[in-house]
Structure 1
Amino acid sequence: MKAVDIRNLSQEEVKAKLAETKAEYAKLRLSHKVSPIGNPIQLREMRKTIARLSTALK
């Protein structure tokens, strides 16, 4: 998710998206530890998205 898209969301939508993304990230990390996922760069992108969402809340 790009910063421009995040700025267009309301604060409540950002909070919901942040919670959803954190849950997805936790699942993906667990599945990656069990058996390597096809695209490990996806983990990095999700971390960056979480950071962008957190920054938008401040």
Structure 2
Amino acid sequence: MKIKEVNELETKELVEKLETAKAALQQMKLNHAITPLENPSQIKGARRDIARMKTVLRQRELNK
């Protein structure tokens, strides 16, 4: 997910996407521990997407 896409989302949608992304990351980590993923860089990408979402939420919080 690009930063432009994250900025276009409303705050409520962003919070929901953040929660689903966190859950997906946890599931991905668990699956990777049991049987290695074909593309382990997916974990890295998921972490970065979560960081982007958190950054945008924090910026919105500070701009209120």
Q: Please indicate the TM-score interval, normalised by the length of the shorter structure.
A: over 0.9
**Structure 2 CA distance for aligned equivalents of residues 12 and 35 of structure 1:** 35
Once the 2 structures are TM-superposed, how far is the Cα of residue 32 of structure 1 from its aligned partner? 0.1
- 5 Å-filtered alignment, 1:38-49, equals 38-49=38-49
The residue that corresponds to 1:55 in the other structure is: 55
- For 1:48, the aligned partner's letter is R
- For 2:17, the aligned partner's letter is K
Once the 2 structures are TM-superposed, how far is the Cα of residue 20 of structure 1 from its aligned partner? 0.4
Once the 2 structures are TM-superposed, how far is the Cα of residue 42 of structure 1 from its aligned partner? 0.3
Q: Pairwise CA RMSD of aligned residues?
A: 0.3
**Ranges in structure 2 where 5+ consecutive residues have no aligned partner:** 59-64
Once the 2 structures are TM-superposed, how far is the Cα of residue 31 of structure 1 from its aligned partner? 0.3
Q: Which secondary structure state, in structure 2, belongs to the residue aligned with residue 38 of structure 1?
A: coil
**Structure 2 CA distance for aligned equivalents of residues 13 and 6 of structure 1:** 10
**Ranges in structure 1 where 5+ consecutive residues have no aligned partner:** none
Q: TM-score, normalised by structure 1?
A: 0.98
Tell me: higher relative CO, structure 1 or 2? Use CA pairs within 8 A at least 6 residues apart.
1
Identity %: 34
- For 1:39, the aligned partner's letter is N
- For 2:57, the aligned partner's letter is L
The residue that corresponds to 1:32 in the other structure is: 32
| Structure (1 or 2) with the larger CA radius of gyration | 2
